[in-house]
């Protein structure tokens, strides 16, 4: 017999459920930043493309694979960047999240390796999840080309990665910490890479990778093609630009700070149990079909996920205390619509392309407004509408 939810029984049952530490007062007092009800889905019609994918000077097998992926018209960042990269220029790409920048660098770099098989590409990203996602997209674009890749990330078996590197893959996709370790061990020779991509640079700087990035750059060859992608460029990022790129072409397609198709609102609560109660009743509604919930701490995220499962929801969590296999499984189940709810720390706020997320819910307020922008960018992607809700006490 299906049991009903009782606010009173919940209050006793989950009295100990913790909320993460409150956000700084400066964000608490500006909750209106989380409200935007007048939304309009942006379409690419506002941008006048100069190419379609079949126009690009790339190999026919690559065009076939692009078509098989269902891509016909490039996004603005793809339309502007691909020709520049094909010409061999260094590039600074500045674009909103969810605008297709992964394909903007993968397509021309795969073509480069197809034309010259001894070319090697290094792609450096801030998180394990983003590395795996880029590798998935690379495999789809490079199908039947004989081009192989190796992902080098923390939290996974390093011996398997070392074995994969011994096969001399055309692409290495790595997080900074693991890559630095492999370079120090003499297992990766950074001088062999003719093309290098730094992706989501602002996120790498946010989580303290600047020293590792400087170390890696110091080991790269002088002659190389360098591509730099970021949503913003602050002082630290500009320092990297100066040492990493030579006479770069800058491409910016960033429009505003948040996706136009994301309806944003707040939910005011007076206590932790009231917050969970309201979350419970929201998740029972049909429209909350695929929900990404953000918390601020690993402990809070794990506790919330466990509590939701106790109440009968299909839910899982990802955070840095979970093994790589656990994180991959949870993300795969969420992408494949086998989970209604994924609860995550901010490791899921950047770069991840998850189709048709109906709602992003900030169970805990983000530390900064920039983090908020990236969190809600997980919905309202690919010209769809999405909703973002933020609990505020």
DSSP string, 9-32: HHHHHTTTPPPPPPPPHHHHTTGG
* pLDDT score, position 205: 84
Tell me the per-residue pLDDT of 241-282, one tens digit each, with 9 for 90 and over.
999 999 999 999 876 655 567 889 999 999 998 999 999 999
pLDDT at 134 over 80: yes
| Closest to 272 (Cα-Cα) out of 7, 85, 4, 18 | 18
pLDDT above 90 (res 29):
no
52-77 pLDDT, tens digit each: 999 999 999 999 999 999 999 999 99
Residue 30: per-residue pLDDT: 60
- For residue 20, what pLDDT band results from cuts at 50, 70 and 90? very low
Q: Residue 252's beta-bridge partner residues?
A: 94
Look at residue 64 in the predicted model and tell me its pLDDT: 97
Tokens matching residue 241: 């630009």
Predicted confidence (pLDDT) at residue 173 exceeds the cutoff of 50: yes
pLDDT value of position 39: 58
Write out the residue limits of the CATH 3.40.50.300 domain(s) in the chain: 7-42+257-392, 45-252
**3-state DSSP assignment of residue 197:** strand
Top-tier CATH class for 7-42+257-392? alpha beta
Mean pLDDT over the full length of the chain: 87
Q: Is the dihedral of CA 34, 35, 41, 47 positive or negative?
A: negative
pLDDT value, residue 277: 95
Q: How far is CA 113 from CA 102, 122, 193, in A?
A: 16, 12, 11
Query: Tens digits of per-residue pLDDT, 339-363?
Result: 999 999 988 877 677 888 999 999 9
Report residue 230's pLDDT band, with 50, 70 and 90 as the boundaries. Answer: confident
pLDDT exceeds 60 at position 3: no
Confidence (pTM): 0.74
CA distances from 119 to 130, 147, 178, 225, 336 (A): 23, 11, 22, 11, 35
> pLDDT over 90 for what percent of the chain?
65
Name the superfamily (CATH) of residues 45-252: P-loop containing nucleotide triphosphate hydrolases (3.40.50.300)
């Amino acid at each position: 017999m299906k049991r009903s939810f009782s606010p009173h029984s919940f209050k006793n049952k989950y009295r100990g459920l913790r909320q993460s530490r409150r956000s700084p007062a400066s964000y608490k007092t500006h909750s209106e930043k989380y409200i935007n009800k007048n939304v309009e889905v942006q379409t690419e019609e506002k941008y006048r493309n100069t190419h379609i994918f079949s126009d690009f000077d790339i190999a026919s097998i690559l065009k076939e694979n692009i078509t098989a992926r269902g891509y016909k018209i490039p996004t603005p960042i793809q339309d502007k960047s691909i020709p520049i990269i094909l010409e061999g220029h260094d590039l600074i790409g500045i674009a909103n999240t969810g605008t297709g920048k992964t394909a903007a660098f993968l397509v021309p770099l795969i073509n480069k390796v197809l034309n010259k098989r001894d070319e090697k590409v290094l792609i450096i990203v801030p998180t394990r999840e983003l590395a795996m996602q880029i590798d998935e997209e690379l495999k789809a674009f490079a199908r039947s080309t004989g081009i192989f890749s190796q992902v080098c990330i923390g939290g996974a078996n390093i011996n398997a990665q070392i074995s994969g590197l011994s096969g001399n893959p055309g692409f290495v996709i790595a997080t900074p910490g693991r890559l630095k370790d492999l370079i120090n061990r003499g297992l990766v020779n950074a001088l062999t890479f003719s093309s290098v991509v730094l992706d989501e640079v602002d996120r790498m700087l946010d989580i303290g990778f600047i020293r590792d990035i400087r170390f890696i750059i110091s080991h790269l060859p002088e002659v190389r093609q360098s591509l730099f992608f970021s949503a913003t460029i602050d002082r630290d990022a500009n320092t990297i630009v100066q040492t990493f790129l030579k006479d770069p072409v800058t491409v910016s397609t960033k429009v505003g700070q948040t996706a136009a198709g994301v309806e944003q609102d707040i939910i005011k609560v007076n206590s932790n149990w009231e917050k969970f109660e309201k979350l419970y009743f929201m998740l029972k509604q049909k429209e909350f079909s695929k929900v990404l919930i953000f918390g601020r701490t690993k402990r809070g995220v794990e506790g919330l996920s466990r509590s939701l499962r106790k109440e009968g929801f299909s839910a899982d969590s990802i955070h840095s205390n979970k093994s790589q296999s656990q994180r991959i499984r949870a993300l795969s189940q969420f992408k494949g619509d086998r989970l209604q709810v994924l609860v995550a720390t901010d490791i899921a706020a950047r770069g991840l392309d998850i189709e048709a997320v109906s709602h992003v819910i900030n169970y805990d307020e983000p530390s900064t407004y920039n983090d908020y922008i990236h969190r809600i960018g997980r919905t309202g992607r690919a010209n769809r509408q999405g909703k973002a809700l933020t609990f505020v006490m």
